[in-house]
Amino acid sequence: MNDVLKVARRDAKLALAHIYIAFIALALGGLAGLLQTLVRSGKFNLPANISYYTILTTHGVLLGLVLTTFFIIGFQFAAVSRTTGAFSDRNRFWGWIGFWLMTIGTAVTAFFILIGEASVLYTFYAPLQAHPGFYLGLTLVVVGSWISGFVLFAQYARWKKANPGQVGPLLSFMAVVNMVLWLICSLGVAATVLIQLLPWSLGLVDQINVLVSRTLFWYFGHPLVYFWLLPAYMVWYAIIPKVIGGKMFSDSLARLSFILFLLFSIPVGFHHQLMEPGIDPFWKYVQVVLTFMVVIPSLMTAFAMFATFEMYGRSKGAAGLFGWLRKLPWGDARFFAPFVGMLFFIPAGAGGLVNASHQLDQVVHNTIWVTGHFHLTLATTVVLTFFGAAYWLIPHLSGRIMTRAMNRLAIIQTIVWVVGMSFMSGAMHFAGLLGAPRRSAFSTYANSPQALEWIPYQIAQAVGGTILFIGIILVLVIVTNLAFFAPKGETEFPVAEVAEQAERTPLVFENWKLWIGIAIILILIAYTIPFIDMIQNAPPGSKGYKLW
Ligand code: HAS
Ligand code: CU
């Protein structure tokens, strides 16, 4: 199955182009993040009248939307080329079209943010209104990503045609699931942008239905977080076992968890709108139940990872309940960074369960607790896994090798990240419980005693933010080295084999009509009635606001 061992050179270029943009976004977005934590400590003001909200929007868009989408598509292109063979010329050509559309779109969006015409944050909630150029730029990014999705589907179909009756390679299967998920969910954001936000910001209509717009956004926004998470799970399931020298616990379990994500990721957007009026509590309840369903594949993943590690440790003679822990390759950054990501996912996921519980969400919603939550999930679990992947992926693609010195630096980088994030995200969680709001610049709210309580935590956030910025500089040093300066040589693209005792993978996982059909039915059940309600009983629309 894994007979293609290298990503073809021309595909490597395409994948690398995406990864470069991702790390440029990390550099700029990280700088914005540093500035924010400094401002919020109350000890620092932005120079030259730059607005806090301009910086905050830059940060969220570059890291939440640009870094992720570019890294994921680059990684998936590489993974699919590695496991199904070199792209056809036509597929590669369209891959480049997708890349350029996304890149031009990013540049347009960034331009309007930086000139201060679009400080609407990365969720661009109505009734905040941005310059039309902001929405147009984002549209190009999404359309580009769709093209890339179809390139992957076409490549996968080519492999299936050449290998009739065989199950597709695991990594390619996973990339296809992730892009199907992305395609279905991004229709929601495309709808609100094209039908509501663009005409409204162009002045063609003067009012917008805010609730419909937010609902379409979160129909997209929750699966978006799994679009980020699933590539990390690809690394955990299909690559980490090989990195540690072991085998994958079960191919079927990995596929089943991905299918469950496809089914349950989408009909759950209301868990971001639990505090919003205008949605019947019954439908919030339905979507909370579905949210708890989508936790199951993550629990399956935790189980599979423990099983993989334990199986490997015992094969090396480990004894006792946790003896296997000592057998893991702690000095290998390709393992260490993603492993720390897994570890942090335990409290991060627990925080998610808090958010998803309607009553508890009343305490934390719109507080900086939520910001703390996604800096554990996205900015630690996912991002550390991506860094860990970059440590072999970039040299594999650039024809170089990672030196021992760089590996050591990568271990240090991971530790710096852990320390910085523990300060920053930890302080955010605590301050959130004390009521500190998210999405807001520094204020003592007329020296109210409650707001003064938050200040020590805000200083801790700035300390953490500064340490994290050092972490960003370190990873940029490593990545630049791996891309341009490291010694030439061959680096392996690790792909794990399945353990001998695992069951054969059934073909039913590739019954796309079935899974996409069920996903659509679940979406219709969860959204049809409340959506009709929102339109039939719509309150008066809102004009646009520019509050920055
Ligand atoms: Fe979340 C808000 C609920 C996961 C990202 N989330 C956000 C926002 C972002 C985000 C960006 O229900 C803010 C959006 C905004 O701007 O408003 N989230 C959840 C739930 C999960 C969850 C139930 N979130 C994520 C992931 C994200 C992410 C993943 C990004 C990648 N989230 C919410 C809710 C809100 C929310 C509400 C709205 C809050 C509000 O009020 O606005 C679940 O998927 C989590 C399940 C995960 C687990 C953990 C399993 C553990 C594993 C690790 C195993 C470890 C090993 C190592 C093997 C149950 C798999 C062990 C080794 C040893 C030695 C111990
Ligand atoms: Cu969510």
- The tens digit of pLDDT for each residue in 417-470 reads 999 999 999 999 999 999 999 999 888 899 999 999 999 999 999 999 999 999
Residue 1 has pLDDT above 60, yes or no: no
Residue 269 has pLDDT above 70, yes or no: yes
Identify the nearest ligand to the CA of 123 by its number: 1
Q: Is 222 a catalytic residue?
A: yes
> Which atom of ligand 1 is found nearest the CA of 356?
12
Residue 376 has pLDDT above 90, yes or no: yes
pLDDT in the model for residue 109: 96
pLDDT in the model for residue 5: 80
CB 391 within 8 A of CB 337: yes
Average pLDDT over residues 298-305: 95
Instruction: Answer yes or no: pTM beyond 0.85.
Output: yes
291 C-beta closer than 6 A to ligand 1 = yes
Q: Which residue, by CA, sits nearest to atom 59 of ligand 1?
A: 349
CA 144, CA 101: separation in Å to the nearest integer? 5
Residue 248: strand, helix, or coil: strand
Pocket test for ligand 1, best of 260, 355, 375 (most atoms within 8 A of CB): 355
pLDDT in the model for residue 185: 96
Q: Which residue, by CA, sits nearest to atom 8 of ligand 1?
A: 374
CB 391 within 8 A of CB 402: yes
CB 414 within 8 A of CB 468: no
pLDDT in the model for residue 505: 82
Cis peptide before 47 (omega within 30 of 0): no
Residue 46 has pLDDT above 90, yes or no: no
> What are the φ and ψ backbone dihedral angles of 159, each rounded to 5 degrees?
-65, -45
378 C-beta closer than 6 A to ligand 1 = yes
Alpha helices in 244-332 (DSSP H): 251-264, 281-315
352 C-beta closer than 6 A to ligand 1 = yes
Q: Is 374 a catalytic residue?
A: yes
pLDDT in the model for residue 201: 96
> Which atom of ligand 1 is found nearest the CA of 121?
16
Q: Is 270 a catalytic residue?
A: no
> Which atom of ligand 1 is found nearest the CA of 236?
58
Instruction: Choose among 92, 177, 211, 194: nearest CA to 142.
Output: 194
CB 142 within 8 A of CB 186: yes
DSSP 42: T
> Which atom of ligand 1 is found nearest the CA of 221?
14
> Which atom of ligand 1 is found nearest the CA of 60?
16
DSSP 204: S
For residue 330, what are the CA distances in angstroms to 342, 383, 405, 487?
A: 14, 19, 15, 24
Identify the nearest ligand to the CA of 325 by its number: 1
pLDDT in the model for residue 500: 77
pLDDT in the model for residue 44: 85
What confidence category does residue 47 fall into, taking pLDDT thresholds of 50, 70 and 90?
Answer: confident
CB 413 within 8 A of CB 469: no
User: Which residues are within 8 A (CB) of 80 and not within 5 positions of it... i.e. 6 or more apart?
Assistant: 152, 155, 156, 171, 172, 175
Residue 2 has pLDDT above 50, yes or no: no
The per-residue pLDDT for range 125-172, each reduced to its tens digit, is 999 999 999 999 999 999 999 999 999 999 999 999 999 988 899 999
Q: Which residue, by CA, sits nearest to atom 17 of ligand 1?
A: 272
Pocket test for ligand 1, best of 345, 386, 439 (most atoms within 8 A of CB): 345
Encoding tokens for residue 407? 């590996």
Q: Which residue, by CA, sits nearest to atom 26 of ligand 1?
A: 377
CA 343, CA 321: separation in Å to the nearest integer? 18
> What are the φ and ψ backbone dihedral angles of 87, each rounded to 5 degrees?
-65, 150
Angle at which helices 368-376 and 404-433 cross, to 10°: 160
CA 314, CA 321: separation in Å to the nearest integer? 10
Identify the nearest ligand to the CA of 218 by its number: 2
For residue 22, what are the CA distances in angstroms to 26, 82, 311, 342, 368?
A: 6, 21, 35, 22, 26
Q: Which residue, by CA, sits nearest to atom 40 of ligand 1?
A: 365
Residue 4 has pLDDT above 60, yes or no: no
Q: Which residue has the tokens 């800096």?
A: 375
119 C-beta closer than 6 A to ligand 1 = no
pLDDT in the model for residue 57: 96
Q: Is 173 a catalytic residue?
A: no
For residue 206, what are the CA distances in angstroms to 220, 238, 321, 490?
A: 24, 50, 65, 59
Average pLDDT over residues 192-200: 96
The per-residue pLDDT for range 423-433, each reduced to its tens digit, is 999 999 999 99
Angle subtended at Cα 67 by Cα 125 and Cα 130, rounded to the nearest 5 degrees: 25
How many angstroms is it from 354 CA to the middle of ligand 1? 10
112, 264, 336, 374: the catalytic one is 374
pLDDT in the model for residue 499: 80
Q: Is 373 a catalytic residue?
A: yes
- Over its C-alpha atoms, the chain yields an Rg (Å, rounded) of 23
301 C-beta closer than 6 A to ligand 1 = yes
Average confidence score pLDDT of the chain: 94
CB 367 within 8 A of CB 330: no
Average pLDDT over residues 216-241: 96
255, 375, 396, 429: the catalytic one is 375
